């Protein structure tokens, strides 16, 4: 397997950012966090993909990684808060987190309504987002080789299989909420794998969305506790992958995004259902289908609406990429 340029193994973890940001820069970061949170609340769309496109993904992973290292804990135990906060780039993390939480609180009710009442339109929009994300991320691989193509293929097959799994009924116990939060956050920071969809597989997506909408603080605290633990521990491994095998990792993550398109295809046929613990009938398994071209002898306008929604999602991502590239250049 071709190995990317290797960083010295003994080098200490540096602070992820070297110069202070201005207020406009923090406002842009808040907006970026809002975009990431908007994606995270959707099953099938990854907030990590948005962070990747917006250009702060590796800084995000590096900052989180340092929260589990001596560069943070040594000064913290000595009550040297400034050095500890500098080690994890705290202003950056808090700004991104504020944007994510704002998006989740504001958008969760609307997305929940769209998923129930206009599923084809909203899933078409998500499909456009993911498809555009693939186009944007592919050029991030500096040099393609056989092992990168293999990683791309394996990532696509794995994600395609993963999103086809059937959700399960699971307990609402405190320990399972912590476990769900830890597992979901690991997926949430991976471009192409949706943390929200992991919650769907674990039978906890509707539970968490309802907890957000009803302000069930105890349940949210348990999920958040698991998320913090999972985030810090998983970031160590992910940061190592980016330092040692950058192109290989990006190729694998691109494969995840390609495979996840199976989940966000807007037209589905329910093949089986189940009764959840609240007595409601919910889909158990679905298959992707092609939409009918006509309905009652007339052209199926749903196809047009879906196409427009997908193009809107595509345009948003490409516009964001152009703005970020122009600012960086």
Task: Quote the pLDDT of residue 246.
Answer: 84
Do the domain assignments include residue 180? yes
Q: Could you tell me the residue range of the domain that residue 43 belongs to?
A: 23-328
Spatial CB neighbours of 13, under 8 Å, sequence gap ≥ 6: 62, 65, 66, 69, 71, 87
CA angle 166, 167, 172 (to 5 degrees): 160
User: Three-state SS across 294-312?
Assistant: EECCEECHHHHHHHHHHHH
CA 313, CA 38: separation in Å to the nearest integer?
12
Do the domain assignments include residue 7? no
- Which of 238, 246, 240 lies closest to 8 in space, CA to CA? 240
Predicted confidence band of residue 167 (pLDDT cuts 50, 70, 90): low
Considering 37-46, 181-190, 269-278, the range whose residues carry the highest mean pLDDT is 181-190
Do the domain assignments include residue 294? yes
Do the domain assignments include residue 200? yes
CA angle 194, 67, 69 (to 5 degrees): 125
Better pLDDT: 264 or 224 = 224
Please say whether the dihedral angle defined by the alpha carbons of residues 264, 267, 269 and 270, taken in this order, is positive or negative: positive
Considering 19-23, 82-86, 134-138, the range whose residues carry the highest mean pLDDT is 82-86
Q: Look at strands 268-275 and 281-288 and give their pairing.
A: antiparallel
CA 204, CA 302: separation in Å to the nearest integer?
30
Task: Quote the pLDDT of residue 6.
Answer: 41
Task: Quote the pLDDT of residue 152.
Answer: 94
Q: Output the six-digit token pair for 116.
A: 């129930």
CA 4, CA 13: separation in Å to the nearest integer?
19
Do the domain assignments include residue 250? yes
Total of domains in the chain: 1
125 contacts 42 by C-beta, under 8 angstroms = no
pLDDT in tens, 67-117: 888 888 899 888 888 898 988 888 999 999 899 889 888 887 887 788 778
CA 21, CA 34: separation in Å to the nearest integer?
18
Do the domain assignments include residue 47? yes
Task: Quote the pLDDT of residue 193.
Answer: 66
Task: Quote the pLDDT of residue 306.
Answer: 93
- Above 80 in pLDDT, residue 324? no
CA 52, CA 32: separation in Å to the nearest integer?
11
- Above 70 in pLDDT, residue 166? no
């Amino acid at each position: 397997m071709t190995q990317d340029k290797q960083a010295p193994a003994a080098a200490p973890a540096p602070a992820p950012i070297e110069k202070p940001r201005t207020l406009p820069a923090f406002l842009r970061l808040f907006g970026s966090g809002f975009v990431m949170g908007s994606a995270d609340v959707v099953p099938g769309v990854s907030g990590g993909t948005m962070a990747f496109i917006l250009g702060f993904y590796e800084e995000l992973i590096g900052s989180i990684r340092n929260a589990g290292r001596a560069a943070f804990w040594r000064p913290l135990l000595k009550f040297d808060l400034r050095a500890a906060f500098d080690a994890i780039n705290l202003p950056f993390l808090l700004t991104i987190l504020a944007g994510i939480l704002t998006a989740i609180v504001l958008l969760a009710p609307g997305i929940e309504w769209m998923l129930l009442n206009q599923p084809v339109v909203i899933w078409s929009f998500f499909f456009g987002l993911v498809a555009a994300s693939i186009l944007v991320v592919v050029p991030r691989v500096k040099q393609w080789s056989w092992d990168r193509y293999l990683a791309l293929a394996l990532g696509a097959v794995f994600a395609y299989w993963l999103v086809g799994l059937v959700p399960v009924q699971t307990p609402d116990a405190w320990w399972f909420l912590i476990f769900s939060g830890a597992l979901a956050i690991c997926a949430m920071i991976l471009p192409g794998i949706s943390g929200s969809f992991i919650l769907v597989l674990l039978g906890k997506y509707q539970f968490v969305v309802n907890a957000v909408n009803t302000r069930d603080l105890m349940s949210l605290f348990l999920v958040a506790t698991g998320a913090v633990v999972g985030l810090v521990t998983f970031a160590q491994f992910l940061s190592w992958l980016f330092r040692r095998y950058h192109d290989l990792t990006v190729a694998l993550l691109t494969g995840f995004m390609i495979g996840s398109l199976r989940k966000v295809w807007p037209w589905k046929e329910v093949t089986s259902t189940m009764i959840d613990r609240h007595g409601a009938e919910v889909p158990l398994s679905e298959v992707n289908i092609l939409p009918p071209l006509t309905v009652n002898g007339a052209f199926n306008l749903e196809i047009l609406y879906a196409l427009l929604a997908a193009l809107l999602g595509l345009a948003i991502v490409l516009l964001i990429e152009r703005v970020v590239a122009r600012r960086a250049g």
